[in-house]
Amino acid sequence: MKRRFNRKVMTMTTTAMLASIMLVGGAGAEAATSNVSTDAVSFEFKAAVREPGALTSKPPEPISLFAFSNMKYLVGGSTTINDLGNNKVEMFGDNVANTTVNSLGLDFVIQRWTGSAWIDSGSTSVNKQNVSYQSSSVIYNVAPGYYYRNQCTHWASKGGYYEQTIAYSSSALIVN
């Protein structure tokens, strides 16, 4: 009897763990209901509902540790993505240095959410010489129905010293 009870407890624990992993991993992104049963317990999971026009579930928001406190030259900056309509997005970034540097740059990478991971869809690098501030934007054509974000590497170099930090914008759902 005790062995049968332990097997039921193990089955319930394993079922709960697998269901948790599926939900955290993005499985079941379709609007559907799944039933998971064991001998003793029945669970019902409702998957995330997609936003109108979206082909995937909504991505998690980035935890951006966009810190300049340990930088020698970079003291500020920002990263955004904007829906321009007609399946176009604008990615914007700017850098602020505490002094004039030899080169101040932004490396833009447009990323598309697949429903479970971000994949790179294109990139552009821009830089300016002998400045302490730079702002730039780039425009990309994108496929509708997906979430996109801007991964931007902010960097500066002066006298052979190079530093960088990476920041992520929030995501934008492109529906037209």
CATH number at residue 106: 2.60.40.10
**How many domains does one find in the chain?**
2
Q: Is residue 95 part of a domain?
A: yes
pLDDT at 66: 59
Q: Are residues 29 and 107 in the same domain?
A: no
Q: Are residues 166 and 95 in the same domain?
A: yes
What string of pLDDT tens digits covers the 176 residues of the chain? Answer: 444 444 443 334 343 443 443 334 444 443 333 343 333 443 443 345 677 777 888 888 776 655 677 899 999 999 999 999 999 999 999 999 999 999 999 999 999 999 999 999 999 999 999 999 999 999 999 999 999 999 999 999 999 999 999 999 999 999 97
Q: Is residue 142 part of a domain?
A: yes
* C-beta pairs of 19-24 under 8 Å, 24+ apart in sequence: 19/43, 19/45, 23/47
End-to-end CA distance of the chain: 61
Domain that holds residue 100: 74-174
Q: Is residue 126 part of a domain?
A: yes
28: DSSP letter: T
Q: Is residue 62 part of a domain?
A: no
Distance CA 88, CA 140 (A): 6
Q: Judge if pTM exceeds 0.75.
A: no
Q: Are residues 149 and 81 in the same domain?
A: yes
Tokens 């997005």, located at residue: 89
Backbone angles phi, psi at 152, to 5 degrees: -125, 125
Q: Are residues 41 and 101 in the same domain?
A: no
Q: Are residues 78 and 140 in the same domain?
A: yes
